Structure 1
Amino acid sequence: MSRILSLGYSPCPNDTFIFYALAHGRVNLPGARVEERLEDVETLNQLACRGLLDLTKISYHALGHLRDRYALLRSGGALGRGCGPLVVARSPLTMAELRDKTIAIPGRLTTANLLLQLHDQGYQNLAVMPFDLILDAVAQGRVDAGVIIHESRFTYAAKGLVAVEDLGAWWERATGLPIPLGGILARRDLGAELIRQADDAIRRSLAYAFAHPQEPRAYMRAHAQELAEPVMESHIALYVNEFSRDLGDEGEAAIRELFRRAEGRGLIPPCPLPLFG
């Protein structure tokens, strides 16, 4: 009888595109099958903190707190250039002017919040809410600014909002490295062989999606927050790239630099265990 593994990922088009084939049996995981659980990224972070998912998409900020329990996989994640979180407001401001102002974030353990804290100090007055509610909260004046992710990157201007800072571009200028947003984790107690097989299955699931790009579309549309086809296509083009196939040396360097800076600021604890399983 096959072992059942829980697999958590977000309803965003990049994740449903990547995991469609694995979740629907188009590719197999030897000796196991997966049961998907679709949740927003901060919910996934919190579920992982409780150890409730065998395999899961995670914010790299959350991974910084979970390295004792979870190992990072090399495939399936979101990392790249020109794809970082944006700080938006109703009118042009500087980041210095936002110190001590109320800023909406999509979760305390999101990479978006970690980048905000690494950018500078003084951003502690935070309003935590689901990512898809942030634009309206800013537009309606319930918060002074918001850190937006996912589809909101393509739709904030339609709400009459302006970009204050591109945190991904800031990271790239500061480090010369791509921005690590979210990775795929496996519980360390699954064992090295099953972790390796899961990594390979996710890589094959992505390859299937690229080879049959129309097949996942109905699944993607059923879960997307923004149903407009051009937005879905832009989302996949931005967040699914060569780093999604394999982190490579550059992707790994970006993750290690993020953790080095975060540890240096006391934002995540140090961990002696290897990053990968």
Structure 2
Amino acid sequence: MRILKVGHSPDADDLFMYYAINFGWVGNPEIRFESCALDIETLNLKALQGELDISAISFGVYPLLALEQCLLRTGVSFGAGYGPKLIKPRGKNLKRNFKVALSGAHTTNAMLFRIAYPEARIVYKNFLEIENAVLNGEVDAGVLIHESILTFDDRLEVEREIWDIWCELNQANLPLPLGGMCLRRSLPLSVAITCEEMLTKAVEVALHNKPLLSSMLQERNLIRVDSKQLETYLNLYANEDSVSLNETQLKAINALFKIGYDHKIYSQILSVEDCLIPTEYKDFRTQ
């Protein structure tokens, strides 16, 4: 049996889309996944260093690791009219060089934020620490991600939606590419295809058994929000559009890559279609 290390974040949508495998609802006799839950920037860094076989990542980091990792079609999270939020204390006016806490240098929201606010003074924190950093005055503002966008303190208010920055930059009313999954190119292609199929099946099974899986995650204290907030959050980020990349989502990722190139964040423009696993290989082998 081949044992593969898989990284995912501890936020609700990643857990929901992956845990059908941990619960034994989806499996393969030749492959076993060993999972670990880490914050998204740690996962981005581990992907850059090639420390995991499969990992959740921010789409914003992918062009930096494209030579070593391919993108998976499944387990994706996009914003459609919503996404990370730049928050500040109520009534506070932000200066041009305001101090802000972001969840990691390689996250998609950090990339878009830096383009929109080039004079801001950035500090990077674990996403769970950002709200308190704003409340205690350590920073002037912060960008909230994951479930925090639903539950932040009433003493805070939204200065700007990252979604609005995205819309201004892409000018095409495309969904905001936030998170996806990548897989080491050094794995055999047949194994890579099987892994993608397993992970896709896990998302499908999760959606088909949403009430049961949600309840099981909450019973095990794996989720940081109540049942109503969990349902709201999953409707945003773990839904039918998470199963497999569609044409609109592919266009959105390509738009993100071009924006990064135009602002000198990436050294070349990638086409996402060239970064996916060539699943037709499976058909060729069986002919």
| Residue of structure 1 aligned with 2:148, choices 138, 149, 152 | 152
Partner of 1:244: 242
**SS of the counterpart of 2:221?**
helix
**Contact 1:68/1:271 (CA < 8 Å) preserved in 2?**
no
| Residue of structure 1 aligned with 2:208, choices 204, 207, 211 | 211
Normalising by structure 1, report the TM-score.
Answer: 0.91
Matches within 5 A, 1:252-263: 252-263=250-261
Query: Shift of the alpha carbon at 1:92?
Result: 4.4
Partner of 1:84: 83
**Contact 1:29/1:198 (CA < 8 Å) preserved in 2?**
no
Deviations along 1:2-41, one digit per CA (max 9) or x if unpaired, are: 1001111011111111111122321124621101111111
| Residue of structure 2 aligned with 1:235, choices 219, 227, 233 | 233
Partner of 2:112: 115
Deviates more, 1:66-75 or 1:26-35: 26-35
Query: Shift of the alpha carbon at 1:170?
Result: 3.1
| Cα pair distance change 1:90/1:37, threshold 3 Å | same
Which whole-Å CA distance do the structure 1 matches of 2:50 and 2:239 have between them? 29
**Contact 2:2/2:30 (CA < 8 Å) preserved in 1?**
yes
**SS of the counterpart of 2:34?**
strand
Partner of 2:282: none
**SS of the counterpart of 2:27?**
coil
**Contact 1:103/1:143 (CA < 8 Å) preserved in 2?**
yes
Normalising by structure 2, report the TM-score.
Answer: 0.88
Query: Shift of the alpha carbon at 1:217?
Result: 2.9
**Residues 1:69 and 2:68 are matched in the alignment:** yes
Aligned length: 271
**Contact 2:8/2:14 (CA < 8 Å) preserved in 1?**
yes
Structure 1: 5+ residue stretches without partners? none
Query: Shift of the alpha carbon at 1:132?
Result: 1.1
Structure 2: 5+ residue stretches without partners? 278-287
Which whole-Å CA distance do the structure 2 matches of 1:159 and 1:195 have between them? 45
Which whole-Å CA distance do the structure 2 matches of 1:194 and 1:79 have between them? 27
| Residue of structure 2 aligned with 1:267, choices 239, 254, 265 | 265
Deviates more, 1:261-270 or 1:32-41: 261-270
Deviates more, 1:244-253 or 1:24-33: 24-33
Deviations along 1:56-86, one digit per CA (max 9) or x if unpaired, are: 1001122121111110011111113033111
Q: Provide the aligned C-alpha RMSD in A.
A: 1.9
**Contact 2:207/2:239 (CA < 8 Å) preserved in 1?**
no
Partner of 1:167: 162
Which whole-Å CA distance do the structure 2 matches of 1:51 and 1:74 have between them? 19
Which whole-Å CA distance do the structure 2 matches of 1:43 and 1:10 have between them? 9
Partner of 1:129: 125
Partner of 2:191: 194
**Identity %, equivalent residues:** 30
| Cα pair distance change 1:92/1:60, threshold 3 Å | farther
Which whole-Å CA distance do the structure 2 matches of 1:60 and 1:187 have between them? 16
Question: Which amino acid in structure 2 is aligned with residue 170 of structure 1?
Answer: I
Which whole-Å CA distance do the structure 2 matches of 1:187 and 1:92 have between them? 47
Which whole-Å CA distance do the structure 1 matches of 2:102 and 2:30 have between them? 40
